[in-house]
Amino acid sequence: MNFQTKIPLQQQPFNQIDYHSKTLLLGSCFAEHIGDKFEYYKFQKQQNPFGILFHPLAIETLVTNAINEKEYTKDDLFFQNEQWHCFDAHSRLSNTSAEVLLENLNNAIRFTHQFLSEASHVIITLGTAWVYRFIETDLHVANCHKVPQKQFLKELLSVDQIKTSLEAIVSLVKSINPEVVAICTVSPIRHIKDGFVENTRSKSHLIAAIHQLVDVRQGNYYFPSYELMMDELRDYRFYSEDMLHPNTTAINHIWNRFQNVWISKDALAMMNDVDEIQKGLAHRPFNSKSDAHHAFLERLKQKETQVQLSFPHIVF
């Protein structure tokens, strides 16, 4: 008997990702998990330059500002809980120094602008359709930074609003990089703080909007991360202790399914070499001074050199 429903996925015949590709990953914390896989296997990528962005309007703001090469100033910052913050960015960029925060924001904008112009793929992972509007400025924020909730209005983006935002994101990127491939996906992480029913409404709005954008002829694709978690991994043993986030087993499974669809066969051999090197670097010997260990390190160094001769951008 088959105790699992399997989602039929086929390998993409065109526009696959290999070691010549440059991939920008934007969105929710699930984008971080997939981005970490790209990092481990040493693909060329940039990952959430403004930190985790949960909803499409926040991603649109980042892309718009990167395309237009916005220069952030102190007027874009505010001081809260002994740190400087920016409503456009995640709290991991926040800093006790306004100058350091501005430098980091503007460096990220410049690097993202350059990367967008060269990117082969942009992967957008949407986490929620719930957004917060800051009453004082009437603008939607990427992160509330623990500012009192009474200063915000909570809103559920409609399908049309999400579709419009996604269209703007893709159009902006293609205005400077017409050949880029856009891959949209929905994070399988449940936002239970919004409520169980509210989370379902949110995810349904995201999925419905994305599928109005998907058009293979235009280079716009959908990858079913959410469906893989909900259907292929329909069991709480695939969740972490909070019962909301996918655990390592689930992340590896979804990555393997993504790999089968989007990673080119030519890249698989190099991935195996990189994996061998990464495991070798993580190895802890019983005797670091033994002849056997020195021979092991020499073989590892030779393999690193061979990999870097093929792809100089790979650094271990």
What DSSP state is assigned to residue 259? H
pLDDT 10s digits, 147-191: 999 999 999 999 999 999 999 999 999 999 999 999 999 999 999
Phi, psi for residue 184 in degrees, rounded to 5: -100, 145
Apex CA 161: angle with CA 156 and CA 164, to 5°? 155
Tokens of 314: 């790979």
Amino acid at 91: S
- Residue 274 identity: V
Mark out the alpha helices in the chain (DSSP H runs).
29-40, 56-67, 98-118, 159-176, 196-213, 225-227, 248-262, 265-282, 291-310
Tens of pLDDT, residues 35-60: 999 999 999 999 999 999 999 999 99
Cα–Cα distance list, 259 to 126, 144, 225 (Å): 20, 34, 12
Beta bridge partners of 182: 122, 220
Please report the pLDDT score of residue 96 as a whole number. Answer: 98
C-alpha–C-alpha distance, residues 17 and 25, integer Å: 13
Q: For 22-263, which CATH class?
A: alpha beta
* pLDDT the model gives residue 285: 85
User: pLDDT value at position 175?
Assistant: 97
Strand partners, 124: 26, 184
> Is 138 within 8 Å of 147 (Cβ atoms)?
no
pLDDT of the residue at 29: 87
Ranges of the chain with pLDDT below 50? none
CB neighbours of residue 144 within 10 Å: 17
Domain locations in the chain?
Answer: 22-263, 266-316
